[in-house]
Structure 1
Amino acid sequence: MLAHAWYVLMASSAAVQPVTLPESQVTPAPVSEPTPTGQETSGDVVVTARRRVERVQDVPIAMSVIGGEDIEKTGAFTVNRLQQQQPSLQFYSSNPRNSAINIRGLGAPFGLTNDGIEQGVGFYVDGVYIGRIGASTFDFVDVDRVEVLRGPQGTLYGKNTTAGALNITTRLPSFTPEARIELSGGNYNFVQAKGSVSGPLTDTLALRLSTSATTRKGTIYNVTSDEYLHRQRNLGLRGQLLWKATDVLDLTLSGDFNVQSPDCCVQYYARVGTTQRAANRQYAALAAAFNYKPPSFDPFDRVTDLDASINSRQEIGGVSLVANWDVGPATLTSVSAWRYWDWQPQNDRDFTGLPVTTVSQNPSQQKQISQEIRLASNGKNTLDYTVGAFFFKQTIDTQGSQVQGPAASRYLLNPGNVPVGATGCATTTANACNPAVLNGLTSTNTISFDNTSFAVFGKLNWEAGTGFHIQPGLRVNYDKKSGSYLSVVTTGTGSTTLNSDQSATLAPQSYAPKFSAWNVSGDITLSYDFDRDIHGYATYSKSFKSGGINLSGLPLNAAGTGVDLSTQTVKPEKVDAYELGLKTQFFDRKATLNLAGFWTEVRDYQATVNNGQLTVIRGYLANAGKVRSRGFEFDSSFRPSKRVNFYVNGAYTDATYERFTNAPCPPELSGGTVTTGTPGPAGVAGQLSPVACNISGQRLPGISKWSFSYGGEYNVPVGESGGQVYVGYDGNYRSRFSSNPSPSAYTWIEGYSLSNFRAGYRKDDFNLFGWVRNAFDQNYFELLSTQSGSTGLIVGQPGDPRTYGLTISKSF
């Protein structure tokens, strides 16, 4: 039985189950030849990466696949956990809205989300493009497989994807009655329940209902509220109705509802670094002025004193209709979808127990409709093709607010020229000594965004000679974006008349950016089948990511008299990507080794940047001149016997700013009086600061040069019943990476490795196992950030500590 469950993956650790699709949707996939023993060999993973069903090893794309059963046994039930098994995948999330999926270091800017930009990595569920990346923080519900495609995919997918795509496929309704239940429990009061049921309603109608619910106590204790933060509370529901209208036409109607209400996500004291701000305005002096200190100076004590409410509630749902019509030589597919997203956050944006910023949140609501139509040739012909058209309409409405508290005046304003070490103000009339100046200062932001996108795309696969394929692709795309940003600022008494200190802290702003453009892009792949199990390919892609608009506030102009309107839009990214790959299998497909080398250059790279101005506490968008990501990847899996399997995957990624001469400066070169002349030394208080910094040649944030995943499983049969006792291990390592848009000595996250173990008993459709994640209780940060205003405070979001538990599952 285990031999049937093992399928070698090109780039994943895991066993993947065969894909079952309606007959009219399937291009027949190759089947394994039997071994001399009569058992099936490995190697028959089938995927739909190219919008047709194919063996993964035959697809000339760098991609990884992980099956639903492997997701369940390894606990990789979110994208955040999935990245631990995929070295080229990066996922960052300071909360669900501020999440990013990157591949090879590219995709979305590192930092807080700005509504006006596109994702560089497409996120798809059952063929539907998801416009809000917050959906990726939910637990997977009844997933059949996850495909991770690396590199531009604009000629195959509805929405242009310059860095890759994450393609999630759920299990379809079955005409054979079936049910499955899974229960897990662990420390931190972790409880997770998953269930699904499927079967026929009539001879042509089948239904599938699925659910997943997760709760867990938080891992970080807040002494102020006497509660644990980073709590999990997730619920997901999905229903699917499959109608086989005729032998050549089927329709699948799907609906889902998902809600999260976690007390997350928190960042708190990690360390302090000296900026160029005056000494009496650095964090140490400010804390002394309030006789304040955090409850612990060790962030891995996992204790904080945040004094504002913390929550990251989000609700996501929608409906879709997928139709597949086999017209003989081709299959016509239609994917229609409507989706919504409702985000209701609460944050402590000063990251301390002081009432500096008592409210900072951006509740937001999105609605989207999308329509994709594709025509894909059936069978395996000398000339195969996929052509399609895609329409996407998105609206977002955001109601932002920021309120300063009674500690804001002293914390944010200049107290005057006081002696070093003094905690008071130079004069009793200084605004910094008057809490009423900023207490209650409120910015109420009304933000709207309208995004329309239309594209036609296509890709050919011409077998020019035996085993030699030429595969050109083309995409024509139109994007139109418009938005408005209105910020009304009132004092604590309700007045809109502001003094200079108040307007420098929260500046009234009103602007209405617009962007529209046509783009033509394409790719060409040359591939050659050296034999049945050795395939090579070379690809060149010329792609783009649509231009964007800034919808999180703009920085002040050089004179400080108003906002800099030249920053309200950002130019499109222009991408040139080159890739060489080799896919191989050996020993009757019991061993797989795949190699890929890549070189990607991005001109006008869209970066989220921060500066010392409080008026743009969330950062804003800018174009870096040029970015380059290059490296190589290898993926290997082995099955020397039916008792043992193991895998090793790795990636080397050299991702740098090739040209970024006007970048925002890191904290050690910020906070002082700005000069166009010679700035003072970095990390010395009271020095002159440069207007901008040249960070050309420095590392992109969020990407490790080296990353690996590795593991395996060993089993022993038990008696004559067909049962097995097994042990498994999954580990990963990533080297140090920068956690600031401009690399800073204060925000490097050191490399770390994580180890996960499991051991259990399984027989037929029953499985019982214990598990330990982060078994050696590794202390590591997921993110480090700087406190706005160049105080020198560095705050962090730690990764999960060691967790353990038990899982039991049964299929019927």
Structure 2
Amino acid sequence: MKKMFGKRVMNCLLATSALIPAAYAVPAFAADEEVMKPNEETTVVVTARRREEKLKDVPIAVTSLSGAKLEQTGAADITSLQKSTPNLTMQVARGTNSTLIGFIRGVGQQDPLWGFEPGVGLYVDDVYIARPQGAVLDIYDVSRIEVLRGPQGTLYGRNTIGGAVKYVTKPLGHERRIMGKLAYGSYGQAEATASAVLPVNDALSFGGAFTLQTRNGYGKNLTTGKDTYNKDVAAYRLSAEYAPNDAFSARLAYDNFVDNSNARHGHREVVALGAGGTPVYTGANAYLGLPTADVYDTYSGLGDKNKVKNDGASLILAYKVNDALTLKSITSNRKGHTDTVIDFDGTPAKLLDVPAYYADTTATQELQALWTGDKLSGVVGLYYLNGTAEGAFDTQILGGALTIFTRGKVRTQSEAAYADFSYKFNDKLTLAIGGRYTSDHKRGTVVRANYNASASPLFGGTVQTVALMRSNFTNERTFNKFTPKASLSYAFNPDMTGYVSVSQGFKSGGFDMRADAILTPSAVNGYKPETVLTYEAGLKGSLFDNNLYFAGAIFRSDYTDVQITRQIPVGASIASQVDNAGSATIQGAELEANFKVSDNLSLNGAIGYIDAKYDEYLSRNPASGLVENLAGLAKFQNTPEWTNNFGATINFPVFGGKMVITPTASYRSDMQMFEFAAPTLDQKAFWLYDLSAVWTNQSGNLKLGLYGKNLSDERYKVGGYNFPWGVAQGQSVLLGNSVTSFYGPPKTITASIQVNF
């Protein structure tokens, strides 16, 4: 009877996976295997709570993807995580190949301007990456990536209000390893990647990894003849590990990233209009203000210059005082610089052109004490950050007759103390309590001025008198916040754990670096932090002799003082403002699973659901000066109601080695680019289909791969700019009726060969 019941359950699961493939997710299993072995315990280890724990024991919604799994599917960079992680949006920001936009459970930050804080924290080996420029990390030399959903304010602090993404590189160890990989694919893609570990002795090892990546553009700039959506990236990482005994270890690392790809210019979605309200006419190609036939093409006349450079160093020291206590120090220093051009109008005319530069430096120091006991385990820590972010840009309009120059700088000093401990009452019940106190001090300076010229002096214009000073102020603010967390876990059996939790996170306040003191005089006072309080219940574990792994969660978030960045055309200017818009409620659910059908086949999938609504959205209309409640009109941006994926991993012996085939499909429902609907910009629901095949010889030193991405050649939007002409809304035709979209990659095929020594 039991056997018959088990067989019926198994058949039911298989039938369900066929009928509703989105109901299963893709957590990682063993890091070096694509398919679990029979009866193997699920022992994935993560550091989501700053200490090593089994994934199933962590009372947080975590997706952990091993380096082997990412390599198997041909994941190129961390934006691929949104295909396999529920309720995650992670995309390339509009004008470059390497600026990141991240949202988790509806919380994030679309605007990558310096001074604005992200809502999703990004960490490389526990070092915080403060700025989105250069944050589209290529996946190479990676051990695993962890996606932590929900506020992580206790252990990761400010700006992890939506969640955190942890990029964990491969430890060096003390065995000699050398790897080389070449790839070639569609649109002239050519890549070379190599890594090596060279041990000096049993205590000291040196390591390095680099990648060179080039690709022709998906489209053309029909004005300059240059490629658009091309790729020209070089990155490398150097490290050294020293462990003279079991008690002490040190890791020194340096990374460098340079993106010389051309500026990405968006696809115009509507007809361009000149100052007279008529279509822009250039003669040679008639109305160049019309949308181009190919969504990757542009008529941009601002040029194609773009360069992003980031580098940083870190030192991690650990000392094991005894079996229970370990002390740890994490020191880092990072800097970045970006030169770019943004042609909002997408025409040769200067209807709305913006040359710009950004620069930032960040130094951090973290001290931790980790305690591991039979009943009590946890961590206490101190954290310090000192960073500056600055930049400048021209807003060149009216065919070059007027330029609005903007320049700003913000310095941030952040100090925090935190503690997080778990206490096991018995083998089943565990209580975890934590809290963090953060003090952020910010000093912001903003200058904004009109020039009656085609460019300001900083961007090549002649030195001249300012026609109108719009902003010229310096101000300081301090933001203090305590963010607690508590959870209760119950182990129903050794393979299944349930939990309930409550956690809080906040995103720091600050100053709008585009502030216009004429149109929005209150901007000189800055804006407040935003806060999320999340209640969550989850169940994770394995069934059927560990052949089925699953992790599910339901959650509710109370979102207050929501920061919303808006740029509203007013006459011949643009009013920039950051609203602490009020409050919102976010509810949702997530389910991930991996089912091992046989030694040669496993099925996986994920489903995420979000119901996010503004309860109050108060915003000052810069044209009328009135405060309006827009809650009935606004929706959450970059937050599809449904995100799901499903796939399979099929492996079998062939030609004296092993072939692994991985088909995957991912779905995202309708999504708005901004809080207010823009039918020409907003993305409709779509599917993406990928397929990879990787053959490895018996000794494991040769690997051949073939990877197909977006096989249905879907055209889907990942970002946009919205400066339309709408007199009823107080918007100005003087900005060219500029509505432009940016698109994800088309269908691509890549072949690779990898050799391990």
8 A Cα contact 2:563 2:580, kept in partner: yes
Does residue 593 (structure 1) correspond to residue 554 (structure 2)? The answer is no
Encode CA deviations 1:560-587: one digit per residue, 9 max, x unaligned.
xxx5134641111122111110002112
Matched, 1:327 2:321: yes
**Does the 8 Å contact 1:663/1:695 carry over to 2?**
no
- The answer as to 2:281 corresponding to 1:347 is no
What per-residue deviation string (whole Å, max 9, x for no partner) do you get for residues 179-218 of structure 1? 1112110010001111111031122101111111111011
Matched, 1:303 2:297: yes
Q: Which residue of 2 aligns with 1:387?
A: 380
Structure 1 residues 124 and 242 mapped into 2: Cα distance closer, same or farther (>3 Å)?
Answer: same
Q: 1:362 & 1:576 partners in 2: Cα distance? A: 37
Task: Please name the residue that 1:807 is paired with.
Answer: 752
Deviation of residue 663 (structure 1)? 6.5
1:12 to 2:29 alignment: no
The 3-state SS of whatever aligns with 1:712 is strand
2:9 alignment counterpart: none
User: Which structure is higher in strand share?
Assistant: 2
Q: 1:692 to 1:159 in 2, by over 3 A?
A: closer
Q: Distance in 2 between matches of 1:759 and 1:495?
A: 62
RMSD (Å), alpha carbons: 2.7
Superposition deviation, residue 292 in structure 1: 5.4
Q: Distance in 2 between matches of 1:241 and 1:226?
A: 45
CA distance in 2, matches of 1:71, 1:232: 21
How many residues of Structure 1 are paired with residues of Structure 2 in the alignment? 710
The partner residue of 1:777 within 706, 713, 717 is 713
Q: Secondary structure at the match of 1:57?
A: helix
Kept after mapping to 1: 8 A contact 2:345/2:738 = no
Query: For 2:696, which of 759, 762, 766 is the aligned residue?
Result: 762
Contact conserved, 1:361 with 1:400, CA < 8 A, in 2? yes
C-alpha change, 1:806 and 1:384, in structure 2 (3 Å) is same
**1:355/1:401 CA distance change after superposition, 3 Å:** closer
Residue 739 in structure 1 maps to residue 673 in structure 2: yes
TM normalised by structure 2 equals 0.88
What letter corresponds to residue 185 of structure 1 in structure 2?
Y
Aligned residue number for residue 105 of structure 1: 106
Native 8 Å contact 1:739 1:784 kept in 2: yes
Task: Name which of 714, 728, 739 aligns with 1:794.
Answer: 739
Q: Which amino acid aligns with 2:646?
A: Y
Match of 2:687 among 726, 738, 753: 753
The aligned residue for residue 670 of structure 1 is: none
Question: Deviations for 1:746-790, whole angstroms, at most 9, x for unmatched residues?
Answer: 432111111011224222232212121110111211123212654
Task: Work out whether residues 661 and 694 of structure 1, in 8 Å CA contact, stay in contact via their aligned partners in 2.
Answer: yes
1:223-257: per-residue Cα shift (whole Å, max 9, x none)?
Answer: 11112111111111101100013320000010111
Report 1:327-726 matches (<5 A): 327-328=321-322, 329-358=324-353, 360-378=354-372, 380-404=373-397, 408=398, 439=401, 441-492=402-453, 495-496=464-465, 498=467, 508-554=470-516, 556-557=518-519, 563-566=520-523, 568-613=525-570, 617=574, 619-662=576-619, 692=628, 694-696=630-632, 698-718=634-654, 721=656, 723-726=657-660
Unaligned runs of 5+ in 2: 1-23, 454-461, 725-730
C-alpha separation in 2, matches of 1:289 and 1:695: 42
- Compared CA separation, residues 367 and 618, structure 1 to 2 (3 A): farther
> Counterparts in 2 of 1:147-226, with a 5 A limit?
147-157=146-156, 159=158, 161-226=160-225
TM (norm. structure 1) is: 0.83
Partner of 2:6: none
- 2:309 paired residue number: 315
Name the % identity: 25
The superposition leaves residues 608-628 of structure 1 with CA deviations (integer Å, 9 ceiling, x where unpaired) of 112123776484311110122
Cα distance, 1:169–1:90 mapped onto 2, change above 3 Å: same
SS in 1 for 2:715: coil
Residue in structure 1 matched with residue 263 of structure 2 by the alignment: 264
Distance 1:209 1:530, change over 3 A: same
Distance 1:102 1:316, change over 3 A: same
Matching residue's letter, 1:539: S
Displacement of 1:365 in angstroms is 1.5
Q: Matches of 2:261 and 2:232 in 1, distance apart?
A: 5
CA distance in 1, matches of 2:422, 2:108: 27
Alpha-carbon offset, residue 305 of structure 1: 0.9
Is the aligned partner of 1:124 residue 2:123? yes
Matched residues in 1 for 2:500 and 2:66: separation? 27
Distance 1:771 1:135, change over 3 A: same
- Secondary structure class of the residue paired with 2:72: helix
Question: Highest CA radius of gyration, 1 or 2?
Answer: 1
Amino acid paired to 2:636:
L
Gap change, CA 1:794 and 1:282, over 3 Å in 2? farther
**Take 1:80 and 1:732, find their aligned partners in 2: how far apart are those partners?**
13
Aligned equivalents of 2:595 and 2:713: distance in 1?
29
> What is the rounded CA distance, in whole Å, between the counterparts of 2:388 and 2:601 in structure 1?
51
Summarize the Cα distance change of 1:197–1:40 in structure 2 as closer, same or farther, 3 Å threshold: farther
Give SS of 1:49's match.
coil
**1:293 aligns to what?**
287
Query: Aligned partners of 2:385 and 2:528: how far apart in 1?
Result: 20
Distance across 1 between alignment mates of 2:436 and 2:87? 26
Cα distance in structure 1, aligned partners of 2:201 and 2:676: 60
CA distance in 2, matches of 1:336, 1:343: 24
Could you tell me whether the CA contact under 8 Å between 2:550 and 2:591 is conserved in 1? Answer: yes
Contact 1:364 1:397 in 2 (8 A): yes
Per the TM alignment, residue 698 of structure 1 is displaced from its structure 2 partner at its CA by 3.8
Matched position secondary structure for 1:71: helix
